[in-house]
Amino acid sequence: MTRLLTRRLVAIPVTLLAVSVLVFLATEVLPGDVARTVLGREASDASVADLRRSLGLDDALPVRYAHWLGRFVHGDWGTSYTLKVPVRELVLGRLGNSLLLAAFAFLLLVPIALGLGLLAGLHHDKPTDRVISVVGLALGATPEFVTGVILLVVFAVQLKWFPASAQANPGAGLLVRLDHLVLPAVSLVLLCTGYVARHVRASTVAAVESPYVRAAELRGASRSQVVRRHVLRNSTVPATSALGVQAQFLIGGLVAVELLFNYPGVGALLLQSAVDKDLPTLQAAAVVLGLLYMLIMLLVDVTYRLLDPRLRREVHA
C-alpha cells in the first residue's frame, strides 16, 4: 500500500509542473492580446503597448515562466490581468463554489445510484432491471445542457419551486444556498447516475450468482438475509471506482451547468481566462484543477484497496 502511495504522490508534482509548462506554451500560441482585452478596442496602440510592458508580457517566455513559478510556489499567485483582483482568492473562491455544487450533487448521486444499481442487479433481467438500465442509459446520453434547460423551464419558470439562478445572494445561509443548487445538482445527478448504476448492477449480479451466496442459500438463509449479509457489501465496494470517475467529472466538467444556472464555478473561470489569455488566473485554475483531479484519482484507488480486504495488503507476484 505505502509503495503505491509514495509512487503516486511523487508523480503529482511532476505532472502539475508539466501541465503548467504546457499551459504557458499554449497561451503563447493563442491569438488575441490580454492588454487589448483590458483596454478595449478604442484605446490607442500606444496605451496597449504601455500596458503590455507594465504587465511584463514583453519579457522572454522562460523568464516569465520562471518568475511566475518562483512566486506561485511561495503562495503569491499574482493578480488577474483582466479583473485586477488577487488570483488566489478568485480561483479558490470559484473552486469553493464548484466543490459545494459537486459535493451536493455527489451526496445525492451516491444513494440514488447505489440504490438503483442494487435494485436492477437483484431483479436481473426482469422489467425493473430493463427500465432502470434503459432510463439510466438515456439520461446518461443526454447532454447536461439539454436536461438542465428542461429542468429550468419546468421547475424554475413554470412551477417556481426553485430559483432559476444557482447563485444565492451574498451572505445567504447554507440552506438557502443549497436551495439554489437543487436544480443544477439534479441535472448532474441525472447525467451521472446511469454510469454508476450500471457498475453496481454488474457487481450485484456477480455477487448473487457467486458460490458464497449459493452456499449461504444452501445453509438455509432466506433471500433477504442473503442480500443483507452478503450481496450488499460485495456489490457496493466495486462502485467506488465508478463513483471516483464521476467525482472527477463533477469537479472540472460542470462548466455547461455553471453557465446554464449562472453559477460562478472554477470551470467557467478556466475557459474565460483561457480566452482572455489572463495567464495568472489560467495557470492557477489549471494547476488547482489538476491537483484536485489527481488527488481524487488517488483517493479512489486507496479507498478501493481499503474496502476490499483481498487487496488490502500489497499482493506481490
Partner 1 sequence: MADHAHPFTPSRRGFLAGAGLTGLSLLAAACSSGTPPSSGASDATSPTGAAKRGGTLRVGTPAPPTSLDPVTMYDGSAIGIVQLVADYLIWLDPDFTLVPRLAQSWSAEPGNKVWTFVIRKGVVFSDGTPLDAKAVKASFDRLLDPKNKSAALSAFDGILVAGGVSLRGTDTVVFTLERAFSDFPYLVSAGNYNAVILKSDYAGNFAKSPIGTGPFLLKTYNASTGATLVRNPKHWQTGKPYLDGVQVKFYADSQAEQLALQSGDLDALIITDPSVILATGNVVLDKVSGTAMTALTLRADKAPFDKKEVRQAIAYALDRPGVNQSIDNNIGQLGNDHLFAPLFKAAPTDIAQRAQDADKVKQLLSSAGVDKLSFTLTFDPPSKSYALVIQDQLKQVGIDVKLDQRSSSEFYGGDQAKDTPWLFTDANLVAWAGRAVPSQFLAPMVTSKGVWNGSKYANPALDAALLAYDAAASDDERKKQAEIIATTLHEDVPVIISIWNGSVRAYNKTKFTGIKAHPSTYVDFSSVSRV
Partner 2 sequence: MTGLLVDGLRVSFDTRRGPVHVVDDVSLDVPRGATLGVVGESGSGKTTFGRALARHLPSNGRVLDGHISVDGTDVLALSPRDLRAWRARELAVVHQEAGATLDPSMRVGAQLAEVLGQQDVARDARRDRVRDLLSAVRLPDPDAIARRYPHELSGGQQQRVVIAAVLAARPSLVILDEPTTGLDASVEAEILALLEDLRRDLDATLVLISHDLGLVGQICDEVVVLYAGQVVERGAAADVLTTPRHPYTAALLASAPTFGVPRRQRRLLAIAGTPPDPAAPPPGCRFAPRCAFADDTCRADSPPARVVDGRTVRCHHAELLDLTATARPGADAPVPRPGSLLQLNGLTRRYGSLAVVDDVTLDIAPGEVFGLVGESGSGKTTLARAVMGIGPRPRSGTMRLSGNALAPVLRRRGRAVLRRMQMVFQQPDTTLNPSHRVRTVLARALETLDGTDSVETLAARAQLDAALLDARSTDLSGGQKQRVAIARAFAGSPDLVVCDEPVSALDVSVQAGVLEVLADERDRTGTSYLFISHDLAVIGYLADRVGVMYRGQLVEVGATDDVLSGPHHPYTAALVLAAQRRERRRSATPPAQAAIATGCRFAARCPHHLGDVCAEQPPPLRTVAEGHQVRCHLPIDQLPKGTA
Partner 3 sequence: MTAVQERRAVAVATGVAAPPTARRRRPIALSVGAVLVGGWVLIAAFWPYLAPYDPQRQHPTLRFAAPSGAHWLGTDQFGRDTFSRMLAGARPVLEIAPLATGLALIAGTLIGLLAGTCGRWVDELIMRVLDAVLVFPAIIASILFVAMLGRSVTVLVLVIGLAFVPIVTRSVRAATLVERQQPYVEAALLRGEPLWSLMLREILPNISRTVLVEATSRLGDAIFAAATLSFIGLGQQPGSPDWGASVSDNRAYLQNAPWTVLSPALAIASLVIGVALVADSLRARLDAR
Q: Which of 176, 171, 173, 148 is nearest to 257 (CA)?
A: 148
Q: Which amino acid is at 238?
A: P
Q: Which CB sits closer to partner 2, 151 or 242?
A: 242
**Least separation in angstroms between CB 268 and partner 2:** 42
Cα separation, 117 vs 193, whole angstroms: 9
Is residue 76 a contact point for partner 2 (CB under 8 A)? no
Cα separation, 65 vs 274, whole angstroms: 16
Q: Which residues contact 108 (CB under 8 A, 6 or more apart)?
A: 185, 186, 189
Is residue 105 a contact point for partner 2 (CB under 8 A)? no
Q: Which residues contact 50 (CB under 8 A, 6 or more apart)?
A: none
Judge contact between 136 and 247, C-beta under 8 A: no
Is residue 153 a contact point for partner 3 (CB under 8 A)? yes
Is residue 71 a contact point for partner 2 (CB under 8 A)? no
Is residue 15 a contact point for partner 3 (CB under 8 A)? yes
In whole angstroms, what separates CA 210 from the centre of its chain?
Answer: 34
Q: Which CB sits closer to partner 1, 204 or 227?
A: 204
Q: Considering only the stretches 28-36, 118-126, 291-299, 308-316, report the one whose residues sit in contact with partner 1 under the rule CB under 8 A.
A: 28-36
Contact letters (x/-) for partner 1, 261-280, by CB under 8 A? xx-x--xxxxxx-xxxx---
Residue 294 phi/psi, 5-degree rounding, is -75, -35
In whole angstroms, what separates CA 222 from the centre of its chain?
Answer: 41
C-alpha cell recorded at residue 4? 503505491
Contact letters (x/-) for partner 1, 184-213, by CB under 8 A? ----------xx--x---------------
Which one of partner 2, partner 1, partner 3, none interacts with residue 216, CB within 5 to 8 A by kind? Answer: partner 2
Q: Which residues contact 307 (CB under 8 A, 6 or more apart)?
A: 237, 240
Judge contact between 54 and 47, C-beta under 8 A: no
**Least separation in angstroms between CB 141 and partner 3:** 4
Which one of partner 1, partner 3, partner 2, none interacts with residue 233, CB within 5 to 8 A by kind? Answer: partner 2
Q: Which residues contact 236 (CB under 8 A, 6 or more apart)?
A: 114, 118, 200, 203
Which one of partner 2, partner 1, partner 3, none interacts with residue 173, CB within 5 to 8 A by kind? Answer: none
Is residue 202 a contact point for partner 2 (CB under 8 A)? no
Judge contact between 121 and 205, C-beta under 8 A: yes
Given 4, 5, 18, 176, the residue binding partner 3 (CB under 8 A): 18
Binding site for partner 2 (CB under 8 A): 210-212, 214-222, 229-230, 233-234, 237, 308-310, 316-317
Binding site for partner 3 (CB under 8 A): 11, 14-16, 18-19, 22-23, 26, 29-31, 125, 130, 133-134, 137-138, 140-143, 145-146, 149, 152-153, 157, 252, 255-256, 270-271, 274-275, 282, 286, 289-290, 293-294, 297
